[in-house]
Amino acid sequence: MALAYAGIQCELRELMLKDKPQSMLEYSPKGTVPVLITDKNQVIDESLDVMLWALQQNDPDNWLNPQSHNLALINENDQNFKPLLDRYKYADRYPELTENQHQDLTLPFIESLDNRLNTTKYLINSQVSLADVALFPFIRQYAFVNKSWFDQLPYPDLKTWLHKFLDLNLFKQIMPKFRLYNDGFSYQFPNGQLLSGDNPVT
């Protein structure tokens, strides 16, 4: 979303991580995604760093400010909530607690977001910011682990916020299914034009 919002044009290579191309590992030996290779051959292989880089190129609606508040909330999400989300999503891998107990551990952070949204339109202030876009994918994952359970939670402002982002044209623009680079396909991003594979652009 940050790349598309900033108007960054790039080649998109959708990967099957069980079959990582050697070219990827040469750029980023840790073998995780995303990996962004800039036109100056800089390798950026953390999601937040990709977002920050994109917004430093172009940030028309000022998503970065106030940056310290954005980064503090993102850090809280990444350090505290994401591990709890992973345990809830894959509760069978963490049998020391029941799924309901894993759910319960996620609720304080979810409630804190709803409390923020009780008083402001978005997580930091009245406008979309980096924190909204960085946290949205995790809350989207969270909501769809058990949609019927999530729907009955008493957090209406968080649900309104989530649906607002699910309905964004920017989000819909980046969500088409792309065929795998492992199978020879690559695309122009964000317009989705095929660059290689069946009937590639010449």
Fold for domain 67-167?
A: Glutathione S-transferase Yfyf (Class Pi); Chain A, domain 2 (1.20.1050)
* Residues 89 and 145 sit within 8 Å (Cβ to Cβ): yes
List pLDDT tens digits, range 50-82: 999 999 999 999 999 889 999 999 999 999 999
Q: How far is CA 132 from CA 4, 80, 127, 172, in A?
A: 15, 17, 9, 16
**Predicted pLDDT at 199:** 74
User: 101 to each of 140, 162, 172, 177, how far by Cα in Å?
Assistant: 20, 24, 33, 34
Q: Give me the chain's average pLDDT, please.
A: 95
CATH of domain 2-60+177-196: 3.40.30
Does the pLDDT of residue 202 top 60, yes or no?
no
pLDDT tens digits, 129-176: 999 999 999 999 999 999 999 999 999 999 999 999 999 999 999 999
The answer to whether the beta carbons of residues 85 and 142 sit under 8 Å apart is yes
